[in-house]
Amino acid sequence: MRLSQFHLATVKEVPADAEIASHRLMIRSGMIRKLASGLYTWSPLGLRVLRKVENVVREEMNRAGAIEMLMPSVQPRELWEETGRWEKFGGQLLKIKDRKEQEFCYGPTHEEVVTDFARNELKSYKQLPVNFYQIQTKFRDEIRPRFGVMRAREFLMKDAYSFHLTQESLAETYEVMYQAYARIFTRLGLTFRAVQADTGAIGGNASHEFQVLAETGEDLLAFSDASDYAANLEKAEAAAPAGSRPAPSATLQRVDTPRVRTVEEVTHHFGITADRVVKTVLVRGKKGLVALCLRGDHDINEVKAGKLPELPGESVLASDEEILAAVGVRPGFIGPVGLPDSIPVIVDRSVAVLADFVCGGNANDMHYTGANWERDARITRVEDIRQVVVGDPSPDGHGSLQIARGIEVGHVFQLGNKYAQALDATVLDDQGKKQVMLMGCYGIGVSRIVAAAIEQRHDEAGIIWPEPMAPWRVAVCVINPKNAPEVNAAAESLYNELSARGVECLWDDRGLRPGAMFADMELIGIPHRVVVSERGLSAGTLEYRARSASESSAITRDELFEILG
Ligand code: ATP
Ligand code: MG
Ligand code: MG
Ligand code: MG
């Protein structure tokens, strides 16, 4: 691709809501542009990367014997009524009406549609097992869309659904999918971990999440330092041996707390959205203490200096030290605590350490009292006081638990007969008897993977793509193409040869100054860069630098082809 004929639009400014590196870099490199909350346009550059991920996923799904199809994203209410999920799915389900007032939802997932397809198409056990998949747009009306495409409302998912006559067959396909997922994330160059996950309300027998390890991940994972045991925190808690730690002293109670404002109330008061809230402090108002949420771009000193609107009445802000002393928490604690005067408030970690914040609101009228703040658990859900902390014995009896953060990029699940039963999806077995099918489902967040990869691989200058995800493998940069026709000709011939060898190559023929050109190539993360210059031409060399290297070196054309394989 000649860059002068492409659309590359790198920018310096990033919006204030871009809290994490991947979000900032996707905006700066011009990969994505925000349309509205949780809705992003993939630019030509971004789409090249997205397609790379999609293709690796597709190849491995095909190799694992799954069959691609495509289902509608708009789904009729009646079908969702059959499984009871029209009501049960909750606020993430976007409901829409057509001109005849008929109701639909925009699919957040496709169990209903695929099971409807299966009940009509599959008649005999001889057609089983079968595993259908699609790569398609989903919509979930997330409470807190954030981190760009990481937690978007509209996003691209690969979802697969397998159908079986027996549990053995389901377990077999589940294992095949598990292995395919491991291959996909390995090929994409991600550092990941498969962890046991709760099967929750669905029941079923097995579920694993594939988690890309990253400090900014929203999920907490527990793993043993002495065995293969790894689970998400919910699952680890459920598996924790009874009595392994004293029950938390905190209890959830309905208490009369008219002075305590929820995050929602306070954010509404200040006209800010919840995802902009990064810390909660206490305000001593006329009538007592209230919790005040601050915006991410203000620190407590600015607030004290009166740079934020204050609550009505005479508000006196407590200092961080006062807050800490009042609630008696150690730095690092996140969660609900009770004040000595028994007015419960939410205190988060940023109040304690003013960094690495996770925010949560107290449920209306429901608060913990008597919390035991000696436990330095990494609590992220305010509704919950963690049962499992670092150093606890591993539930498998080997070693002790470590806690890490992860980004969920994939999820495999043995659903059992839940959907097939509800939708009466049956086949005839070898005795000619009707049997409800068993199902597995297997999801991958295709668009989330792009952000997760950047989260793991970037530096000051920009993105460092693993080769299989890079928009192009090589950037050919020309110094002064306008003034030196022979340099331009050499670059063109190199570009042609690379293209002929099947190497995806971006020829930066924009005529920018070297500094600006190199900065762009580093920002968009092209793994290999070669510079064609007058000086190099006369010496018979090219200046080569790997994106991950700190130095460049002079190499010949043949050496370049060798590096690129
Ligand atoms: P999360 O816990 O992050 O909300 P989930 O468990 O709700 O994800 P699944 O229903 O398991 O998601 O969907 C399969 C995959 O789709 C997830 O593993 C994740 O990679 C991706 N995904 C889910 N929600 C989003 C989202 N809002 N934006 C981008 N990708 C998403
Ligand atoms: Mg979710
Ligand atoms: Mg999840
Ligand atoms: Mg999941």
Query: Which of 185, 444, 448, 455 for a ligand 1 pocket mutation test, highest count of atoms within 8 Å of Cβ?
Result: 448
Q: Is residue 207 part of a domain?
A: yes
Examine the pLDDT at 265 and tell me if it is beyond 70. Answer: no
* Cβ of residue 329 lying under 6 Å from some atom of ligand 1: no
Same domain assignment for residues 174 and 294: no
Examine the pLDDT at 520 and tell me if it is beyond 60. Answer: yes
Alpha-carbon span 281 to 267, nearest angstrom: 13
Q: What is the mean pLDDT of residues 49-59?
A: 98
Q: What is the mean pLDDT of residues 542-564?
A: 96
pLDDT band at 426 (very low <50, low <70, confident <90, very high): very high
- pLDDT tens string 451-497: 999 999 999 999 999 999 999 999 999 998 888 899 999 999 999 99
Three-state secondary-structure class, residue 346 = strand
Amino acid, res. 474: V
Q: Kindly report the CATH number assigned to the domain that includes residue 407.
A: 3.30.930.10
Q: What is the pLDDT of residue 125?
A: 98
DSSP state, 19?
Answer: -
Query: Residue 427 — φ and ψ, nearest 5°?
Result: -130, 165
Q: Is residue 308 part of a domain?
A: yes
Higher pLDDT, 7 or 269: 7
Q: What is the mean pLDDT of residues 407-412?
A: 98
Task: Dump the DSSP string for 260-312.
Answer: PPPHHHHHHHHT--GGGEEEEEEEEETTEEEEEEEETT--HHHHHTT-SPPPS
> Which range of residues forms the domain containing residue 415?
16-237+403-454
Same domain assignment for residues 225 and 295: no
Using the mean position of ligand 4's atoms as its centre, give its distance from the Cα of residue 209 in Å: 7
Q: What is the pLDDT of residue 233?
A: 84
Q: Which residue reads 């699609």 in tokens?
A: 134
Q: Is residue 397 part of a domain?
A: no
Q: What is the pLDDT of residue 159?
A: 98
pLDDT band at 228 (very low <50, low <70, confident <90, very high): very high
Same domain assignment for residues 430 and 517: no
Q: Kindly report the CATH number assigned to the domain that includes residue 528.
A: 3.40.50.800
Same domain assignment for residues 73 and 217: yes
* Cβ of residue 440 lying under 6 Å from some atom of ligand 1: no
* Cβ of residue 155 lying under 6 Å from some atom of ligand 1: yes
Same domain assignment for residues 186 and 69: yes
- pLDDT tens string 288-317: 334 444 433 434 444 444 444 443 333 334
Give how many domains the chain has, as a whole number: 3
Alpha-carbon span 481 to 191, nearest angstrom: 40
Same domain assignment for residues 170 and 226: yes
Same domain assignment for residues 260 and 370: yes
Q: What is the mean pLDDT of residues 371-390?
A: 42
- pLDDT tens string 181-224: 999 999 999 999 999 998 765 555 699 999 999 988 988 899 99
Same domain assignment for residues 262 and 232: no
* Cβ of residue 388 lying under 6 Å from some atom of ligand 1: no
Q: What is the pLDDT of residue 292?
A: 43
Average the pLDDT over each of 20-34, 93-107, 335-349, 399-413 and give the range with the smallest value.
335-349
Q: Is residue 340 part of a domain?
A: yes
Three-state secondary-structure class, residue 453 = helix
Question: Across all residues in the chain, what is the average pLDDT?
Answer: 80
Which residue's CA lies nearest to atom 23 of ligand 1?
A: 445
Q: Is residue 11 part of a domain?
A: no
pLDDT band at 393 (very low <50, low <70, confident <90, very high): confident
Closest to 457 in 3D by CA, of 549, 552, 564, 548: 548
Examine the pLDDT at 449 and tell me if it is beyond 80. Answer: yes
At 175, which helix (H) or strand (E)? helix 167-187
- pLDDT tens string 134-163: 999 999 998 879 999 999 999 999 999 999
Using the mean position of ligand 1's atoms as its centre, give its distance from the Cα of residue 408 in Å: 7
Same domain assignment for residues 274 and 420: no
DSSP state, 366?
Answer: E
Q: What is the mean pLDDT of residues 7-12?
A: 97
Three-state secondary-structure class, residue 439 = strand
Task: Dump the DSSP string for 26-38.
Answer: HHHTTSEEEEETT
ipTM of the complex: 0.99
Q: What is the pLDDT of residue 200?
A: 64
Examine the pLDDT at 92 and tell me if it is beyond 80. Answer: yes
pLDDT band at 240 (very low <50, low <70, confident <90, very high): confident
Same domain assignment for residues 371 and 425: no
Q: What is the mean pLDDT of residues 531-540?
A: 94
